[in-house]
């Protein structure tokens, strides 16, 4: 009989990332901080890649307008901790208007959360970006993978998901190994703040085996944009700390999985109460 197994043995997490979204896109001033960023994280993220932005004017004009340029400008970076085979195990990225930390080998929330907060704090102190572009949102994303142990023809979402789950439609529970479901909703968190939840659940062939991917993204819009690292990390009388917000988002993600998965799988990944 076919069954599903958690991707990473004791947990099913392929990737977890924490991100800060800013009011404005990163500009060329970020280039002034690049050397300080590289030096700060050289021991933990030895691979550095600059990210460049190019502005292109499309239209009938024949001459460059004052103040415009098609020359690439440094506007972000990727810092990577690679595995022996060169693939990434951890990434610190600044791109567009988002600073994010990606963990591709997840151990536990107790271990990963302080690491993520530490990377973000140190990076913000070097970038000095909050004075010109305040932080507006906190994002926490989990990507879970469940691998089919059996033939693809025997795949059945009903093996993995509760029959009464509210997060996927009942009609997919007996639709074999190819289907997808997308949903989104707002969930109130303490302080009256509404958090946007985006959930994508899909089934299909992953490389050579069948599997199910659960991708849950939580977006917490800050009641008041943060203009300093201290305000963002520690909070104040009107706003929760970054750690407190992430704890609430993490709890919300666990709630999604508890409503979605069968008890046997919840026990395998340590979520059964």
With 0.75 as the threshold, say if the pTM is over it.
Answer: yes
236 domain residue, yes or no: yes
Q: With 50 as the cut, is the pLDDT of residue 102 above it?
A: yes
pLDDT digits (tens, 9 = 90+) for 41-81: 999 999 999 887 654 445 555 444 554 555 556 678 999 99
59 domain residue, yes or no: no
62 domain residue, yes or no: no
58 domain residue, yes or no: no
In three-state form (DSSP H/G/I as H, E/B as E, the rest C), the secondary structure along 101-121 is EEECCCCCHHHHHHHHHHHHH
Name the least confident of 52-56, 143-147, 202-206, 254-258.
Answer: 52-56
117 domain residue, yes or no: yes
* Range 178-185 average pLDDT: 95
Output 29 or 93, whichever has higher pLDDT.
Answer: 93
20 domain residue, yes or no: yes
| pLDDT tier, 115 (very low <50, low <70, confident <90, very high otherwise) | very high
In the predicted model, what is the mean pLDDT of the chain?
Answer: 89
Check residue 53 and give its pLDDT.
60
Q: What's the total number of domains in the chain? A: 1
Q: Give CA separation, 258 vs 155, 263, 271, in Å.
A: 21, 8, 7
Residue range of the domain that includes 42? 3-52+73-268
pLDDT digits (tens, 9 = 90+) for 158-167: 999 999 999 9
* Range 125-143 average pLDDT: 94
pLDDT digits (tens, 9 = 90+) for 199-211: 999 999 888 888 9
Check residue 71 and give its pLDDT.
53
Percentage of the chain modeled with pLDDT above 70: 91
Check residue 60 and give its pLDDT.
56
82 domain residue, yes or no: yes
Q: With 70 as the cut, is the pLDDT of residue 120 above it?
A: yes
28 domain residue, yes or no: yes
| pLDDT tier, 193 (very low <50, low <70, confident <90, very high otherwise) | confident
């Amino acid at each position: 009989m076919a069954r599903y197994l958690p991707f990473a043995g004791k947990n099913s997490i392929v990737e977890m990332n924490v991100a800060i979204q800013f009011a404005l896109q990163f500009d060329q001033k970020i280039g002034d901080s690049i050397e300080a960023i590289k030096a700060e994280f050289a021991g933990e993220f030895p691979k550095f890649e600059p990210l460049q932005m190019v502005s292109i004017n499309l239209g009938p004009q024949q001459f460059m307008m004052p103040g415009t340029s098609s020359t690439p400008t440094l506007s972000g970076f990727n810092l990577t901790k690679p595995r022996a085979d060169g693939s990434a195990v951890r990434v610190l990225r600044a791109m567009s208007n988002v600073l994010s930390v990606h963990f591709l080998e997840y151990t536990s929330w107790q271990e990963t959360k302080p690491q993520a907060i530490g990377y973000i704090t140190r990076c913000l102190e070097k970038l000095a970006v909050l004075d010109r572009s305040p932080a507006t949102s906190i994002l926490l994303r989990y990507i879970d993978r469940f691998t089919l142990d059996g033939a693809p023809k025997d795949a059945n979402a009903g093996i993995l998901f509760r029959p009464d789950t509210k997060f996927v439609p009942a009609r997919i529970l007996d639709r074999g190994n190819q289907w997808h479901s997308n949903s989104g909703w707002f969930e109130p968190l303490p302080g009256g703040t509404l958090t946007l939840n985006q959930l994508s659940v899909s089934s299909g062939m992953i490389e050579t085996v069948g599997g199910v991917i659960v991708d849950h993204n939580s977006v917490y819009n800050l009641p008041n944009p943060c203009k300093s690292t201290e305000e963002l990390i520690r909070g104040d009388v009107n706003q929760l700390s970054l750690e407190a917000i992430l704890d609430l988002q993490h709890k919300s993600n666990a709630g999604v999985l508890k409503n979605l998965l069968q008890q046997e799988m919840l026990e395998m990944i340590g979520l059964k109460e």
